[in-house]
Amino acid sequence: MRRIFFISFIGISLFVSGCAQQNLPVVVNNNDTWSPSGILEHGSREAKVVALTFDADMTPKMKNDLKTGVVQSWYEKGVIDILEKNQVPATLFLTGMWAEIYPDVTRELGANPLFEIGNHSYDHGAFHMPCYGLGEVKDRSDEVMKTQGVLKELVGYAPKYFRFPGGCGASDDVALVSQLGLQVVGWDDISGDAYIRDRAEPIVTQTIKNAQNGSIIVFHMHGGHTAPQTVHALQAVIDGLRKEGFGFVKVSEL
Ligand SMILES: [Zn+2]
């Protein structure tokens, strides 16, 4: 029987990420160490550091909205600018299709020592259904390996980390990704930037409130109308976490 891994936090409200909507089945996974599921949800709880991660989604619909001018850009450069200005390292999970649409940006990000690049599938389909309205992927291996090829070509190395679109992966999906040589990365602190679209303040508050030693925090870097507040929240998040004494590392340094 396939087991579904949905990652969440215990707190005020139930927030489900990325590409996500509410009212979804969520299994709380609050292991106090590495997840036995094969998903890296956080690092050691000993060191006072967190890893900021940013997903760059690209579905066929998003691509079409770009093509038809419904959306001007699916790259929020302001997010990267803030990270650079503050010299905060980050792990960026790019979809293959996003990288193909923004090859120069992808090259620059890959060459920037402040960042490491992860794989977020090719076109952001669901590995396990249902998944917040995402269409189901046709070929799971291809979603991973095609993207590895695209990213290796652009950034010069094949990513070591993979994040499921919507966080929707069953145990056999996790096993498959592992067999393909990548570590699945989840999160234990969800910024909520994919659904809090009118104000930045709640993103700042909940992100800081839920940060623990070793936390992996998930944001989005595609902006547009699906993650419009990330750029407005990020500076305050960085300042707030620093005030709490947290340092910043990449996922690989956790
Ligand atoms: Zn995503």
Report the pLDDT value the prediction gives residue 35, as an integer from 0 to 100: 54
Domain contains 24: no
By DSSP bridging, strand 183-185 and strand 189-190 are unpaired
Domain contains 80: yes
List pLDDT tens digits, range 223-239: 999 999 999 999 999 99
Mean pLDDT of 236-245: 98
What is the Å distance from ligand 1's center to 120 Cα?
Answer: 7
Residue 10 has pLDDT above 90, yes or no: no
Domain contains 10: no
What is the Å distance from ligand 1's center to 29 Cα?
Answer: 20
What is the Å distance from ligand 1's center to 156 Cα?
Answer: 23
Domain contains 64: yes
Domain contains 81: yes
What is the Å distance from ligand 1's center to 38 Cα?
Answer: 19
Report the chain's mean pLDDT, rounded to a whole number.
Answer: 88
149 vs 10: which has the higher pLDDT = 149
Residue 79 has pLDDT above 60, yes or no: yes
What is the Å distance from ligand 1's center to 2 Cα?
Answer: 22
Instruction: Please report which confidence band the pLDDT of residue 88 belongs to, taking 50, 70 and 90 as the band edges.
Output: very high
Give the global pTM. 0.87
What is the Å distance from ligand 1's center to 125 Cα?
Answer: 9
Question: Considering only CA atoms, which of 106, 102, 145 is closest in space to residue 122?
Answer: 145
Report the pLDDT value the prediction gives residue 33, as an integer from 0 to 100: 39
What is the Å distance from ligand 1's center to 165 Cα?
Answer: 4
Residue 130 vs residues 6, 25, 136, 167: alpha-carbon distances, Å: 12, 10, 8, 11
Instruction: Please report which confidence band the pLDDT of residue 167 belongs to, taking 50, 70 and 90 as the band edges.
Output: very high
* Rounded Cα gap, residues 54 and 185, in angstroms: 12
Domain contains 51: yes
Number of domains in the chain: 1
What is the Å distance from ligand 1's center to 163 Cα?
Answer: 8
Mean pLDDT of 61-80: 97
Report the pLDDT value the prediction gives residue 6, as an integer from 0 to 100: 40
Q: Which helix (H) or strand (E) holds 53?
A: strand 49-56
Domain contains 207: yes
Report the pLDDT value the prediction gives residue 214, as an integer from 0 to 100: 98
Domain contains 74: yes
191 in Cβ contact with 218 (< 8 Å): yes
CATH number at 137 reads 3.20.20.370
Share of the chain above pLDDT 90, in %: 84
What is the Å distance from ligand 1's center to 144 Cα?
Answer: 14
Mapping DSSP onto H, E and C, the string for 110-140 reads: HHCCCEEEEECCCCCCECCCCCCCCCECCCH
What is the Å distance from ligand 1's center to 55 Cα?
Answer: 5
Question: Considering only CA atoms, which of 155, 57, 156 is closest in space to residue 106?
Answer: 155
What is the Å distance from ligand 1's center to 167 Cα?
Answer: 8
What is the Å distance from ligand 1's center to 58 Cα?
Answer: 8
Q: How many residues does the chain have?
A: 254
Residue 160 has pLDDT above 50, yes or no: yes
125 in Cβ contact with 135 (< 8 Å): yes
List pLDDT tens digits, range 101-114: 999 999 999 999 99
* Rounded Cα gap, residues 76 and 93, in angstroms: 14
* Rounded Cα gap, residues 28 and 5, in angstroms: 9
Residue 7 has pLDDT above 60, yes or no: no
AA letter at 234: L
Range of the domain at 86: 37-253
